[in-house]
Amino acid sequence: MKPEGNSFTDRGCPLCESRRSRQHVNVNRRYASNEYELVLWKCQDCGFVFLRNEIDIEYDGDYLEREAVITKGDPYAQFIARERVSGIARVVPPEPGKRFLDIGIGDGLLLHLAEELGYATYGLDINADGLRLARSTYGIRAELSLEPMGDAFPGTQFDVIHMNEVIEHVTDPMPLLNNCRKRLKEGGCLVIQTGNIDSVVSKIRGRSWAYIRPVHVSYFSTKTLLHAIKESGFKPIKWMTLDWRLQSVVSQAGRLLKHGQAKGGLKMMTLYLTSIAHGMRRSVVVYAT
Ligand SMILES: [Zn+2]
C-alpha cells in the first residue's frame, strides 16, 4: 500500500502552493535492489524541500524487515519510546478514557507503552503486515485501521495524536495535518518527529546525508514544520532535537556501563549532549496543541 495522498503531480509547493521552486539537490540512491534518481526541489517562498519525481515504494512485510522496525529486545528503541510516551504524559496525563492515536505504528512498541500507562489506544498504518506484527509482538489491544486519516475511526476525537518518522513519507502533508487538527480535542497534544534538513549533520553531509532516501518525499526543517502546523491551526508548545530527560539518559547510560556496554552508554550521553544545541542532531520534534 502507498501513503495517503501520494501521487505525482507537477504542482507547486506542498506547504504554501507557491510556484517559485528551484532544484535543490539531485542524487542517486540504491534501495531494495533498485536504483533511484531523487530530485529535491526547494520552495523559494517558504523554504520547504520536497521530492518532485515519482517514486514507487511498496509498504509491506519486506519494508518492515528492510527498515528494521523490530524493537523487541532492543533496549535503545525501548528507551526512546519510553521517553516519548513520558513526554506526552506530562502534557496529557493518561486518565481513563483519554484517547491516544499513533499514526505509523511500526511494530506497536509505542502503543504498547501508551496502553501500559492507561490510555485508550488507536493505531493507523498503511502496512497491513505492520498491524499483524504489532498484535503478535506486543499483544496490543488498540483499535487499528488501514484507512486514510480522513476516514479512519469516524466520529472519534483524540487527546493525543503522535507521528514518529511518518510525515516525511507523505507527499501532501497539509491535508494530513488538517485532518489531525479536526480530530484533536481542544487542549489535546500533537507530537511530530521528522528529519531536519537544516540540521548541522545535514549541512555537513550535504548530498550524501543518509536521510535523503527514496522513501522520504517531504524534507522539513524546524522552520517549515512549525510553519505547516501553524497553518493547520495548531499552536506549538515546544520543539527540540530530542525529547529525552537528563536523569533518564544518565540512568540508562549507567545501566549500559554496568552491563559492559560502555560504547552504548557513551553513545547515549553524546547524543544527549550534542542535542542540547538545537539543530545539531538530524531530527526535529514538535509538541503542539
Ligand atoms: Zn512553499
Residues near ligand 1 ion, CB 5 Å cutoff: 13, 15-16, 18, 43, 45-46, 48
List of the chain residues with pLDDT < 50:
1-2, 4-9
Q: What distance in angstroms lies between residue 194's CA and the mean position of ligand 1's atoms?
A: 18
Give domain limits for the chain: 62-288
Distance between CA atoms of residues 281 and 196, nearest Å: 8
For the domain 62-288, what is the CATH superfamily, name and number? Vaccinia Virus protein VP39 (3.40.50.150)
Written as nine digits, the cell of 144 is 487499528
Quick one: pLDDT at residue 8?
44
The phi, psi pair for 34, rounded to 5°, reads -120, 155
Quick one: pLDDT at residue 58?
84
**pTM given for the model:** 0.93
Q: What distance in angstroms lies between residue 217's CA and the mean position of ligand 1's atoms?
A: 15
**Interacting residues of 248 by C-beta distance below 8 A, sequence separation 6+:** 79, 82, 83, 86
Instruction: Give per-residue pLDDT as tens, 164-177.
Output: 999 999 999 999 99
Instruction: Give per-residue pLDDT as tens, 243-267.
Output: 999 999 999 999 988 988 888 889 9
Q: What distance in angstroms lies between residue 126's CA and the mean position of ligand 1's atoms?
A: 27
Q: Which of 166, 63, 158, 162 is nearest to 110 (CA)?
A: 162
Q: What distance in angstroms lies between residue 21's CA and the mean position of ligand 1's atoms?
A: 8
Q: What distance in angstroms lies between residue 51's CA and the mean position of ligand 1's atoms?
A: 13
